[in-house]
Amino acid sequence: MGKGKEKKLSSKAQAEVDLEAANVDRAGAAFGVQLAALNKLNEDKDTAKLEELGGVRGLAEALHTDLNDGLASAKTGGTSLEGRQAAFGANRFKAIPLKSFFALLIGNLKDPTLILLMAAAFISTVLGSAVKEQREESAWSEGVAIWVAVIVVSGVGAVNDYQKDLQFRKLNAQKDVIEVKVLRNGVEQLVGNEELVVGDVLLLDTGDKVTADGLYISGHGLVVDEASLTGESEPLRKNEERPFIRCGTQVTEGDGKMLVSAVGVHSEWGQTMALVVGEAADTPLQEKLTVLAGAIGKVGFAVALLCFVVLMIRWMVENRGFPISKFSEGPLQFFIFAVTILVVAVPEGLPLAVTISLAFSMKKMMKDNNFVRVLAACETMGGASAICSDKTGTLTENRMTVVEGWFSGRKYDTLPEPSMLPESAAREIGLNSALNSKAFLIENEDGKVDFVGNRTECALLMMLRKWGASYKEIRTANEPKVANLYGFSSLKKMASVLVRTEDGYRLYNKGAAEIVLARCTQVLDTNGVAVPMGADQREELEGTITQMASRGLRTLCLSFVDFPAEAPGRPADFFDQPTDENLTAMCIVGIKDPVRAEVPDAVAVCKRAGITVRMVTGDNTYTAQHIARECGILTDGIALEGPDFRSRSDEELKELLPTVQVLARSSPADKFKLVHLLKEMGDVVAVTGDGTNDAPALKESDVGLAMGIAGTEVAKEAADIVILDDNFRSIVKAVLWGRSVFNNIRKFLMFQLTVNFVALVVAFVAAVGSGETPLNVLQLLWVNLIMDSLGALALATEDPTPDLLLQKPAGRRESLISGHMWWHILTQGFYQMFWLFLILYGLPSLLSEYELPTKGSTAPGYLSYAGVMTTRINDKFNLTGIPTYDNRDTKGPRFDMCCQPEVDCLKTDPRFNAQRNFPYLDLREVMCEYKKEQSSGNVTLAPSTHAPEDYETGDVCGEDPTDACRARYQQLKYIHDQAEKQWKNVNRDGRNQVNSVIFNVFIFCQMFNFVNARKLNNDYNIFEGIHRSYIFLLIWAFILGAQIIFMEVLGGVFKVSGQTWQEWLAAIAIGAGAMPVAAIVKFFARMFHKRKNPEAESKAYNAVQAL
């Protein structure tokens, strides 16, 4: 996640904060300290003021808090939990308000191409309203229709954006919701961080995130990293001298208790960092698609420019110049058409599709126990080729139980009763198990016990519970004696606690059995007495460890060492990191942690999906190998131990890594190095981690997976995805969802490129070939809406299918457009273009009802088109009709119009009923004529080539150079102009009839191409799972319904004519024909790429489906 733009809280939001502060001051009367005073104390870190209040204990009394037992949650009134929230505020930050739908709509309308289109539409509307001839033809309506279409397209995009933002808001809100440990009613409890109130006693441990401001009460080596708040690179130790602990910081070492003094907007974090919010950076896939969209947009711009230039040249040639009176019906229309082509060509829906797919996937991944913290991880996970997994809790159930062991000189095949052990030994084992631990148990009403903290430590607490001992009582009785607590060290593989005794100090130690045993020089015998460890006994104990580990048991050795109260020459800081030599072994326990039942199948699915699974664990190599074999991870590979791994060079390891399946006794540094080397070798690596020291490896990996239950907050902060149930199966589901995102984007890309390809080629060829625009502006905007917003919503939100895990991972260098996709784009594109060009150029000549009228068809017909039936020629005659008849000679069709003005040349045609009185023109008295030019087929008025002065010389009127002849010619010229105008209308209507069929067929081709695009590979069944894709079906039905309305109801707006049932049937048939074409292409593709083992693939598919 890169740094995004920052947005400050609005003045309104700040006013709300101030109002809340005023309200909580009034509610704080029940306490000995008010909110303002607490805020001042926190802001100034005023230790002198703290002392005035009586120190931390005095402040606790003012807040009615018992530092030993915490809050009494049963209290009512002003000091209840609700009363504290009213007095000091809730532990929540003010949310940055979502962008409104209107703001998103305005943002979409700022797209440069849409601005050009709206500008052109504005000019078209103005000219269509201002110019009389344009107004009479309602030319303004097209501009208005474009405005409406642009707003609809932008509105749909705004709806998508709003829904996406809403999804992200809900999901991101959960990032900051974590469980914290508090002391209430004298009992350790887990509560949500938003439930923290001022006065709570917060328990802190290594890896915890501090979620409120507070004051140090007590602890053991508590060190806090404040870099996120102050920028200080060095962590700070907290104690009585430095008691202030800040919200938003992290505990890096030790443990302690903290008195909560400020929450929510009143904490330092709330007053500073919460005032800004970062916008998510684009994911790698979004960046790739943005680049691709830019490239496609450039091609679209070139095509749009060429179309505009070609149409302009043709228009200027036909009009013999640039008649400004025809600007709106020529250049302006061409400009609008070109900009619309650009709007269609620029696939702005590509990055949108990624965002929509991620938003929907993240929501559903939550149900599969995958909480995505970083957007990019969702798509990257789909390309994972290597998974480095922890053992405990991920591959196993993490319900650890002590089942056998060696206790005080004797081996037991089951957990012995305490009465079977020496009393002193049982007591010392109990002290080690209870004090050398930060874990605790929560007993539910149904009798079940929940583990909180390290599961190995919980297993020891459960052992004490079975022995009838209370770890809580042991801790309470010995808490004053605890001098220091040393958390688990991944380097030493041990944890320790230093306890004061009558004679000095005793260091209780527990850790990896073989490592701790190597540091032991004594053992407890069967009487509970420490005796030297001989070589034979050491060998016997090492054999016991190996024997238990070989059966998959985690082995743990508990030991101790004593130190005198005073020792000459002992450094003052000796107990900061005490020695762990010359230990006395008390017991070696074997802890069973069963493999999760679903893990072997999940590992098998990963292997089938081309993903290498490696176990990386700190456990004994024998334990690791046993569990790895049980999981199906260790098959034909090898297991390495951490020391061996560290001793090898990078070159040696790169040669060895393809065969390494288990890395045992590993340190966090080993995990980091493993991830780094695998990435260098080209793998896309996902790695799991739960400890604070796993953070570097989680950051180094392509996808860091933190454990939601066992993971520390440091690990979760470093991770990209949090596995909420700590289950390996959920990791496999993350892979499935990641592949689904990539697959859905490819579907949409394939669909959109096909539409782009066809629309651009058809527009260009039609413009260059005949000056036609078969798809007008509104139709192209409808196509753009289908192609972008609706297409993204339909194809980018489909759920994953099991077959995705039968494919190989995309990897780091996988192209966005595969070979299968290119075949689909080209074959579907050429199929659609074949029919569209056939309709455009072939339909008028093949079927008479689609024949386009020409100027030279018949002159009487031409004039009847011109409206001659209602044209007044002179005062004497109102020409109400012209009979249709043919008078052909060698020069082609000819219709004589001119006669001498004195001659009554209008007579009744005997071929018609006399009552109808259809006049006709006498053919005998000719002065001028319409002629069809053989070369072009155009009909022109013969005198049109003469200059005005020719009327005086007789060149036009022959022997009658009179004004009457000139007037007669002007009358005929008027009829000619009316005929020309009407012919254009009739020709437009005829062309619209053909273009309407083209538009309908084109839309149905895209609708069925929609369905084809659901399957990327050579799968015949394109309908598989379509009944579960509700959004897809809804959008498909919407497009169908909208298309019917556009064709049959809004034909005048879209400039289309209603379709006959035959035309509807033909459009559906041509569109559906895309399916057999796709099946044929897949058939031939399968011939060249035969499936290796269909039966094995079928079994694997069933396994994936079961998972």
Q: Which residues pair with 559 in a beta bridge?
A: 509, 585
* Cβ proximity of 365 and 777 under 8 Å: no
Q: Count of residues for the chain?
A: 1107
- Active-site residue, from 200, 205, 390, 619: 390
Closest CA relative to residue 664, chosen from 689, 638, 683, 685: 638
E strands along 41-186, which residues? 179-184
Place of tokens 């078209």: 124
- Torsion of Cα atoms, 660 then 661 then 663 then 669, to 10°: 70
Q: What is the CA radius of gyration of the chain?
A: 42
Q: Name every residue whose Cβ is closer than 8 Å to that of residue 100 and which is 6 or more positions away in sequence.
A: none
Write the single-letter amino acid at 138: S
Q: For residue 354, what are its two tokens?
A: 């990624």
Distance CA 780, CA 768 (A): 18
Determine the residue type at 334: F
Q: Where are the alpha helices (DSSP H) in 174-283?
A: 227-230, 268-271
Report whether 610 contacts 808 (CB < 8 A). Answer: yes
Distance, in Å, from the CA atom of 463 to the CA atom of 474, rounded to the nearest integer, reads 14
State the residue for tokens 């005005």.
Answer: 948
Give the Cα separation of 828 and 472 in Å (integer): 72
Task: Identify the DSSP state of 961.
Answer: -
- Residue 188 near residue 157 (C-beta atoms within 8 A): no
* Residue whose token pair is 């904060």: 17
3-state helix, strand, coil in the chain (%, to 5): 55, 15, 30
Cα–Cα distance measured from residue 67 to residue 56, given in angstroms and rounded to the nearest whole number: 9
- Continuous segment of H or E residues that includes residue 1102: helix 1094-1106
> Nearest-CA neighbor of 395 among 630, 210, 193?
630
Name residue 485's beta-bridge partners.
497
The dihedral over CA atoms of 1073, 1074, 1079, 1085, expressed in degrees to the nearest 10, equals 140
The answer to whether 390 is a known catalytic residue is: yes
How big is the CA angle at 701 (ends 699 and 702), to the nearest 5 degrees?
110
The two beta strands, 721-723 and 386-389, are: unpaired
DSSP string, 754-819: HHHHHHHHHHHHHHHHHS--SS-HHHHHHHHHIIIIIHHHHHTTPPP-GGGGGSPP--SS--SS-H
Non-local (6+) Cβ contacts of 229 within 8 A are 246, 247, 248, 249, 268, 269, 272, 273
Give yes or no for a contact between 793 and 160, defined as CB atoms under 8 angstroms apart: yes
Locate 876 and state its tokens. Answer: 């004497």
Backbone angles phi, psi at 448, to 5 degrees: -75, 155
Distance, CA of 795 to CA of 353 (rounded, Å): 8
Compute the distance between CA of residue 1005 and CA of residue 831 in angstroms, rounded to an integer: 9
The encoded tokens of residue 218 equal 């007590």
Evaluated on CA atoms 137, 139, 140, 144, the torsion sign reads: positive
- Token pair, residue 515, equals 């490592």
- Structure-block tokens of residue 171: 């999901």
d(CA 116, CA 777): 13
Going along 903-947, which residue ranges are E strands?
A: 906-908, 919-921, 929-932, 939-941
Catalytic residues: 390
